[in-house]
Amino acid sequence: MQLIGAWFFDRVLTTIKKYHMLDMGDSVLVAVSGGPDSVALLYFLKHIEPLYNLRLRIFHLNHEIRGAEADKDAEFVAALAARLDIPAMLESYDVPALMERERLSLEEAAREARYRLMDRLAVELKIDRIALAHHADDQVETFLMRLIRGAGLEGLSAMQPVRGIYIRPFIEVSKEDILGYIRDNELAYRVDASNEDLSILRNRVRSDLVPLLASYNPQFKGSILKTIEIVREDQSHLSELTDGVFDLLAEVGDGIVRIQIQAVEAQPVSLKRRLIRKCIKWAKADLRGIEFKHVEAILDALQNVPVRFELELPGGVIVFTEYEHLVFARKQLFEGPPLKPVRLIVPGITPVEPLGIEIETQYHNAGDIVFEGDGDVAHLDADKLPEELEIRTRKPGDFFVPFGMMGEKKLQDFFVDEKVPRRQRDKVPIVTVTANDHIVWVVGFRIDERFRVTAQTKRVLVLRLKPQRR
């Protein structure tokens, strides 16, 4: 394929090499809307296909927003794919429904739909790289939008030339350069009328704010691009520092992070904010919907520790203090139906599958008992117990008389005193009297004083907690 534009070709190829965007033999999915930027990118990659021995595929998404015009865009891309002999993945997604369901702006919903589908195709097709047509003017617009909305260094870094498998070969050339490449090579493309919709912030920035700033400084775009480069380098360094501190201090699991409050407080404020954001991202998997105010609310709360603190963040993540730790976790880890009461087999073995345990019960003569100092074993006066017992999990209002105490205590307060993590409290088995729901044993912790073995006890009921046999 012969294309005109040696300067443009050399400039983009320099960017590709500078950021190590491509390797020999890469499978590349090219996002093609049909507009001038993506068409130019497709032709450019087709031109260098032999140079890198690339395997190209096209991705096009109908957002189901523009009706017949969107259908014509898909037809155009399909014809373009056939002409260039490149396999095309033509997808559709109900973006308006996604927008309503997840309370996103139209632009956010469209972006979310694109990335979800591209990520899926990357796995299914074993794609090495996904090429996007964002250019230097997009960088400037993104910087200004984030500045208007409020952002830290990460946001003001604008678009990354390489992010995971995503690459932006045009990130250092302007829209004017791309249009020149299009004109020189007489490439056909589609015009998206929604780019003129001034209800969309990006379009207002492009049509109103950019010309206004140019009236103050005709070279302002170059100045912003230099600022972005400086910010990106600073952000990269701070991210490395944050990663090192996070790896040293954070205890992580699936959808949950625990980090010592004192260790967080010991960090400089810039690292504190980044640590909080990283903890949120680990628990949530992304930072969508997370704003400066959320991070500040968490940092402010740490000033009042040991006062208990809890905050629910957008996206189903909760943050709370747990003794000397700050915990970030997906809300669903704490949710789930309570265990339906299971009748305790006495004597015998009672499996409790939802909790992955079983409880073994045996009767013994009091004189034959050797007491075990083990929280997983309970010794009860059998004659003080009714015939029917059951196992359940906690419920609001639970109380009992902990062994060794004289008065009643709320189960919630008992868990707090015993430093039982919140995420585990709904999974603690509780043995109760079926008839009146009195707690007999908080399994693994304490029996009720009223059922303890005394000098007058004749028969002992021994309950033993065990992992469920598979």
C-alpha to C-alpha distances, 309 to 40, 118, 269, 298, 299, nearest whole angstrom: 53, 39, 20, 9, 11
Token pair in block for residue 234: 């600073």
Q: Do both 25 and 108 map to the same domain?
A: yes
> Would 180 be classed as within a structural domain?
yes
For residues 5-29, average pLDDT: 93
Residue 22 has pLDDT above 70, yes or no: yes
In a domain, 294, yes or no: yes
**Distances 333 to 14, 246, 284, 390 between C-alpha atoms, Å:** 48, 22, 12, 25
The answer to whether residue 18 scores a pLDDT higher than 60 is: yes
Residues 192 and 325 grouped into a single domain: no
Q: Are residues 139 and 256 in the same domain?
A: no
Helix (H) or strand (E) holding 247: helix 220-249
CA end-to-end span of the chain, whole Å? 64
Q: Is the pLDDT of residue 252 over 80?
A: yes
- For residue 98, name the pLDDT band (cuts at 50, 70, 90): confident
Span 172-182, pLDDT tens digits:
999 999 999 99
CA gap 289, 108 in Å, rounded = 11
Q: What is the pLDDT of residue 2?
A: 56
**CA–CA gap between residue 89 and residue 293 (Å, rounded):** 40
Assess if residue 26 is contained within a domain.
Answer: yes
pLDDT at 4: 61
Structural domain range at position 221: 6-225
pLDDT above 60 for 1: no
Same-domain pairing of 454 and 355: yes
- What domain count does the chain have? 3
14 and 79 within one domain = yes
Query: Is the CB of residue 176 less than 8 Å from the CB of residue 159?
Result: no
Residues 173, 50, single domain; the answer is yes
CA distance linking residue 404 with residue 446, whole number of Å: 9
Residue 230 inside a domain? The answer is no
Query: Is position 239 within any domain?
Result: no
DSSP codes joined into one string, 137-173? HHHHHHHHHHHHH---HHHHT-S-SEETTEE-TTTTS
Regarding whether 416 and 303 lie in a shared domain, the answer is no
Residues 318 and 378 in one domain: no
Q: What share of the chain in percent tops pLDDT 90?
A: 58
With a pLDDT cut of 70, the percent of the chain lying above it is 97
Tokens of 237: 């360094």
pLDDT tens per residue across span 318-354: 898 888 889 998 887 776 667 789 999 999 999 998 8
- pLDDT number for residue 180: 93
Same domain, 172 and 281: no
Kindly state whether residue 1 falls inside one of the protein's structural domains: no
Whether residues 102 and 191 share a domain: the answer is yes
Whether 305 maps to a domain, the answer reads yes
Confidence (pLDDT) at 286: 84
Tell me, what CATH number does 404's domain have?
A: 3.50.40.10
- At position 399, the amino acid (one-letter code) is F
pTM score of the predicted model: 0.67
- Crossing angle of the two packed helices 6-18 and 36-47, in degrees rounded to 10: 80
pLDDT digit string, tens, across residues 202-243 = 889 999 999 999 999 999 999 999 999 999 899 889 999 999
The Cβ of residue 51 has, within 10 Å, a number of other Cβ atoms equal to: 11
- The last residue of a domain, from among 208, 225, 242: 225
Going by pLDDT thresholds of 50, 70 and 90, the confidence category of residue 65 is: confident
For residues 311-317, give the mean pLDDT. 87
Query: Do 183 and 107 share a structural domain?
Result: yes
List the CATH number of the domain containing 121: 3.40.50.620
Beta bridge pairs of residue 60: 90
Is residue 145 located within the same domain as residue 188? Answer: yes
